[in-house]
Amino acid sequence: MSDTPVTTADPFERPLTRREVIKRGAVGTVIVFGSTIAFAPKRAAAASTASSITIGTFQDNALSPIRDYFNGLFTKETGIKVRYHETSYNAWYQNAKNDGLNKTGAYDIYIMDDNWVPEFAAGHIIQSLDKLGFKVNPDILPKGVEQGLWPPKHGAKMKAFANAKPELYAIVNIDDVEILYYNKDYFPHAPQTWDDIYRVGKAKFKPKKLYGWSARGVKGNPIVQTYLPLMSSYGANFVNADWSPGFAGPAGVAALERLFSFIPFMPPGVAEFDTSQEVPVLLQGKCTALTEYTGTVHVIDDPKQSKVVGKINTAATPKQERHGPAIGTFICGIASGSKNPQGAIQYLEWFTSSRIQKQFARRGGSAAVTGSALHDPVAVKKYRWLPAIADAVNTSIPKPRTPDEPKMEDILGTALNEALIEAISKKQGYHAIAQKHLSSAATQITKYLKQQGGYF
Amino acid sequence: MTAVADPVQSSRAWRLRLAATPYVLLLPALLALAAVSLYPIFYGVRASFHKYRYGLDMGSAGKQNYTDIYHDPVFWQAMKTTAKFVVIAVPVETLLGLLLALLVARELRFASWIRVALILPMTIAPVVVGVIWRLIYASDIGIVNPLFSHLGLGTPDVLAHYHGAFFGLVVLDTWEWTPLLFLIILAGLHSIPQDPLEAAQVDGATRLQTFFHHTLPLLMPVLLVAVTLRTIDAVGTFDQIFVLTGGGPGTSTQLISIYSYNTAFQFTQYGQAMAMLVTLLAFLLLLMIAAVQFIRRNSRAAA
């Protein structure tokens, strides 16, 4: 019989030596890490089988019907499960970019803002839909489809892509576009020109009670969105075909002067206004008209938010020389590392089909992408703004298609904000103010594009 | 045959091993520090010499990013705005913090409650502070416009004017960060030896004389540390501005933190953004070296 100490029946009661603790700890660690490494890829692979797709997106109310209803409907009709991951706009832009550059395969479809397309397509963050065999529904409004092409079909092209054939890299899923919102009490019919709006605004203006016009005046993207429909309708271009800025000429200056002419009838502090301040003025019945993107259609008849339910009508933004609504669609691309590109293609073809788009328009009056949906009598009867969205998309003018567009927009948006502040404080000399700030912006943009290279 | 160890050599080896032991033991910590703290800085500096396009690293750009920002008037404007912000906000906060600390250091009734109330703003997340002040300043729903209007001063539309927005930001920052300086200075006041102060009073010094000739010099090292920390923090102010003004109107509140963020994440010029931050880091380092020298000299003089 051995003289080794007899162990107790319950191993947990036995005191452990230091060596045993280390040994067991090491074994435990190996098991935990080993199993993580061993099983994680299998789980990830399992998650990306042909029977499922993963969509990543930013949060936006316009996308809610997709999340809440259409993804489920797709699963029901096809058996393909849809995972839908939402995050904030800025975070999603970075996530999507990192995911695509590293081809992680975490997502199959990216829902994007259309100005991401040049960077994502040129950087191969998304795949060519043409090469994947995507079939475009001919019912989709052509201007919406063009937002997904790289290089662009029309307008200025970067030198490196000047001779490349435009390929479809993304397909529009929400036709977001700027439209005119006007109060029927002051405009029995949709105003046709900016002069019409000026006349009514001036005549109806009552200090602190009713403003003739409201706008997004805050620097950067918001004031650019205010200016673009004016600029385009006066016949100016953001950039010409040779990338020279086109807004500092007579037409662009006249457009900005027209915006300044509304200053006496606009709410005080408009230089700090963004959508969240501009739209309530309209919904409180304190404004005759304004331009905004289609997201606002969902609140104009909501009695919780609007005091003028049923009184706000919509139309394409007014024309002067021509129509020129700014377009900013939501658009879907397939991730470069997608593990189920065919499932993603199936989803996108299904969602942009005329049948589903009709349902999309009928569910809350969403900005559908097909002509038949936007003119569907059943949908239009309930959601009167749908034809205005179609008109606006058909007459829209896109922003410059380049990865440097945000910087160009920032330069112009800062100059416009400074011009607006100066015009508000001086109350005169609008032409000179407009000329000075637009010329400065044009010079800065040209300098920046030259610095970046690939334009001139 | 067994070799006999040379006792001199073995003793030298032993001494060497003994001397090296602390460094060997420090090595894991040094490696961790290098990985966590130094590598990101190295990576950032490296990125400042690279060109990025379409989200891709296009390779070395030489000193082009530095040349570009050197010729970028917006960058220098942002540096100037940052300096102006720090030079105004930090002294105001320090002065207010000192006054409040002097007030609360005395055993007033409800002093503990006052202390708690004073440090509350500092405990709120900067983004939330930005939202609160945006609501206060907003020309449509804020309280500043009606208040001024009621007093017959018109409507300032704080965020719609260059100076209004800038000073609005300084007020926000003062509200949020005075408590930090207050706390540090209060702790400093409590640590000051009371004997010299009591002796001065016995000698007939007034309260003001006691403060300027005894309290303030004794408090100076603490004040310098507090100001240095606050300056570093103020240079990097971001969240509140992002929410409150986005850097506008114009470029009036565009600090370097906002401009470099936009350059990196909106304009996707990561190299240029890093060049901006490296330049800022160089400026800050110079400032900190000067501050540390000043503190040392001051401490020696006080001693």
Beta-carbon separation of A97 and B161 below 8 A: no
Beta-carbon separation of B160 and A97 below 8 A: no
Q: Which two tokens stand for residue B14?
A: 């032993």
Q: Which residue among A123, A404, A417 sits closest to B248, beta carbon to beta carbon?
A: A417
Please report the pLDDT score of residue B114 as a whole number: 83
A143 secondary structure, DSSP code: H
Beta-carbon separation of B269 and A407 below 8 A: yes
Cis peptide before B73 (omega within 30 of 0): no
A12 secondary structure, DSSP code: G
3-state per-residue secondary structure call for chain B: CCCCCCHHHHHHHHHHHHHHHHHHHHHHHHHHHHHHHHHHHHHHHHHCCEEEECCEEEEECCCHHHHHHHCCHHHHHHHHHHHHHHHHHHHHHHHHHHHHHHHHHCCCCCHHHHHHHHHHHHHCCHHHHHHHHHHHHCCCCCCHHHHHHHCCCCCCCHHHCHHHHHHHHHHHHHHHHHHHHHHHHHHHHHHCCCHHHHHHHHCCCCHHHHHHHHHHHHHHHHHHHHHHHHHHHHHCCCHHHHHHCCCCCCCCCCCHHHHHHHHHHHCCCHHHHHHHHHHHHHHHHHHHHHHHHHHHHHHHHHC
Distance CA A109, CA A336 (A): 9
Question: Chain A within 8 Å of B77 (Cβ-Cβ)?
Answer: no
Q: Which two tokens stand for residue A449?
A: 């594009």
Residue ranges of domains in chain B: 7-47, 65-302
The answer to whether residue A15 scores a pLDDT higher than 80 is: no
Distance CA A405, CA A421 (A): 24
Which residue's entry shows tokens 């000329």? A435
Beta-carbon separation of A280 and B248 below 8 A: no
Q: What sign does the CA torsion over B252, B255, B258, B263 have?
A: positive
Residues with Cβ within 8 Å of residue A417, at least 6 apart in sequence: A217, A218, A219, A220, A223, A271, B248, B249, B250
The answer to whether residue B274 scores a pLDDT higher than 60 is: yes
- Chain A residues in contact with B53 by the CB 8 A cut-off are 123, 403
Question: Chain B within 8 Å of A407 (Cβ-Cβ)?
Answer: yes
Question: Chain B within 8 Å of A269 (Cβ-Cβ)?
Answer: yes
- ipTM for the complex shown: 0.85
Please report the pLDDT score of residue A20 as a whole number: 60
Nearest CA in chain A to B266: A406
Condensed to tens digits (0 to 9), the pLDDT of residues A72-125 reads: 999 999 999 999 999 999 899 999 999 999 999 999 999 999 999 999 999 999
Condensed to tens digits (0 to 9), the pLDDT of residues A353-365 reads: 999 999 999 998 9
- Between the alpha carbon of residue B1 and those of residues A141, B4, B9, the distances in Å are 97, 9, 20
Give the confidence band of A436 by pLDDT, cuts at 50, 70, 90: very high
CB A313 within 8 A of CB A176: no
Query: Chain B, 131-170: which have a CB under 8 Å from a chain A CB?
Result: 138-140, 145, 155, 157, 159-162, 165
The answer to whether residue B104 scores a pLDDT higher than 50 is: yes
Nearest CA in chain B to A425: B161
Q: Which residue among B140, B157, B265 sits closest to A94, beta carbon to beta carbon?
A: B265
Closest CA to B137 of B259, B261, B240: B240
Beta-carbon separation of B139 and A406 below 8 A: no
CB A110 within 8 A of CB A335: yes
Beta-carbon separation of B266 and A406 below 8 A: yes
Q: Which of B166, B238, B243, B268 best probes binding to A when mutated, by most A CB atoms within 10 angstroms?
A: B268
Coarse DSSP helix, strand, coil percentages of chain A, rounded to the nearest 5 percent? 50, 15, 40
3-class secondary structure, A222:
helix
Which has more confidence, B115 or B270?
B270
Condensed to tens digits (0 to 9), the pLDDT of residues A251-270 reads: 999 999 999 999 999 998 89
Give the confidence band of A151 by pLDDT, cuts at 50, 70, 90: very high
Give the predicted TM-score (pTM) of the model.
0.86
Beta-carbon separation of A414 and B140 below 8 A: no
Please report the pLDDT score of residue A297 as a whole number: 94
Give the confidence band of B53 by pLDDT, cuts at 50, 70, 90: confident
The answer to whether residue B26 scores a pLDDT higher than 70 is: yes
The answer to whether residue A61 scores a pLDDT higher than 60 is: yes
Distance CA A270, CA A257 (A): 16
Distance from CA of A293 to the nearest CA of B (A): 21
CATH label, B65-302, candidates 1.10.10.60, 3.40.50.2000, 1.10.3720.10, 3.30.365.10: 1.10.3720.10
The answer to whether residue A13 scores a pLDDT higher than 70 is: no
Distance from CA of B237 to the nearest CA of A (A): 19
Please report the pLDDT score of residue A39 as a whole number: 47
The answer to whether residue A5 scores a pLDDT higher than 70 is: no
Q: What is the rounded average pLDDT for all residues in chain A?
A: 90
The answer to whether residue A180 scores a pLDDT higher than 80 is: yes
3-class secondary structure, A263:
helix
CB A447 within 8 A of CB A250: no
Please report the pLDDT score of residue A268 as a whole number: 86
Where exactly does CATH 3.40.190.10 map onto chain A? Answer: 51-176+328-394, 178-326+402-452
Please report the pLDDT score of residue B2 as a whole number: 52
Q: Which two tokens stand for residue A96?
A: 């999507």
Cβ–Cβ contacts within 10 Å for residue B77, how many? 16
Please report the pLDDT score of residue B302 as a whole number: 64
Please report the pLDDT score of residue A264 as a whole number: 95
Please report the pLDDT score of residue A9 as a whole number: 43
Across A217-229, average pLDDT = 96
The DSSP line for A70-121 is IHHHHHHHH--EEEEEEE-HHHHHHHHHHHHHHT--S-SEEEEEGGGHHHHH
Condensed to tens digits (0 to 9), the pLDDT of residues A26-46 reads: 555 555 445 444 444 444 444
The answer to whether residue B100 scores a pLDDT higher than 90 is: yes
The CATH number given to A178-326+402-452 is: 3.40.190.10
Please report the pLDDT score of residue B30 as a whole number: 92
Distance CA B302, CA B166 (A): 38
Please report the pLDDT score of residue B54 as a whole number: 82
Q: Which residue among B53, B139, B265 sits closest to A268, beta carbon to beta carbon?
A: B139
- Pairing relation of β-strands A330-334 and A312-316? unpaired
Distance from CA of B71 to the nearest CA of A (A): 10
Q: Which residue among B54, B247, B250 sits closest to A421, beta carbon to beta carbon?
A: B250
- Chain B residues in contact with A267 by the CB 8 A cut-off are 139-140
The CATH number given to A51-176+328-394 is: 3.40.190.10
A68 secondary structure, DSSP code: I
Closest CA to A181 of A65, A75, A301: A301
Which segment of A163-167, B6-10, B244-248, B254-258 scores lowest on mean pLDDT?
B6-10
Condensed to tens digits (0 to 9), the pLDDT of residues B127-142 reads: 999 999 999 999 888 9
Nearest CA in chain B to A122: B54
Beta-carbon separation of A270 and B160 below 8 A: yes
Please report the pLDDT score of residue A23 as a whole number: 60
Q: Which of B265, B266, B269, B270 best probes binding to A when mutated, by most A CB atoms within 10 angstroms?
A: B266
Beta-carbon separation of A123 and B262 below 8 A: no
Nearest CA in chain A to B245: A272
Question: Chain A within 8 Å of B87 (Cβ-Cβ)?
Answer: no
Distance from CA of B167 to the nearest CA of A (A): 15
The answer to whether residue A385 scores a pLDDT higher than 60 is: yes
Question: Chain B within 8 Å of A201 (Cβ-Cβ)?
Answer: no
Question: Chain B within 8 Å of A368 (Cβ-Cβ)?
Answer: no
Backbone φ, ψ for residue A376 (5° rounding): -65, 120
- Per cent of chain B over pLDDT 90 is 66
